[in-house]
Amino acid sequence: CCCYFFLLFIFQLSLLVMMRRKTIMFINHYFSLVAMFSGLTATITFQRRSTYYIFQVFIPCMLIVALSWVGFWIDHGSVPARVALSITTVLTISYMRGSVNENMPKVSYLKSVDYFLLGSFSFIFMTLVEYVLVLKLARKSKHDSAAKSRESQEEDEWVSS
């Protein structure tokens, strides 16, 4: 494509030479300069060093998510332990997200590390939601069993009277 335009340019210049004999010296000088520099090729190779982010962001983030899953083995009756673990991991992931974005250039789109940290945050947040659901079901179960025991006591009293 570029060669075609270059040949067209040469053809136009040769027509100009035929029409004006005074420009022949200039055109010959121009073509001798073009012949000296036939082409130039530059190859630039970029390589991203991702080991820093693997060891400073991704691995600690995965360990924090795994730490939040430890709450599944804590008894649902020990509220302070589970809530403290959940809140601590949520705050840690939030801090990690802020510190990673502080060192990155300001762009209008989400980067892959942002997607990873948001996914990690959602896993940790879902552990907190799971604990709320477990507490609600445990309280409902406790309330239902208390109501049944009251009914059975009232039945026993009615039958014995």
Overall pTM surpassing 0.85 (yes/no): no
Residues 6+ apart with CB under 8 A from 134: 76
Give pLDDT tens digits along the chain (161 positions). Answer: 555 555 555 655 555 545 445 445 555 555 554 555 555 566 777 777 788 888 888 999 999 999 999 988 888 888 888 889 999 999 999 999 999 888 888 889 998 889 999 999 999 999 999 998 988 888 888 777 766 776 666 666 666 65
- C-alpha–C-alpha distance, residues 55 and 63, integer Å: 11
Residue 124, number of CB atoms within 10 A of its CB:
26
What CA–CA distances, in Å, run from 19 to 7, 24, 60, 98, 158? 19, 10, 76, 70, 127
Cβ atoms of 61 and 124 within 8 Å: the answer is: no
3-state secondary structure 66-102: HHHHHHHHCCCCCHHHHHHHHHHHHHHHHHHHHHHHH
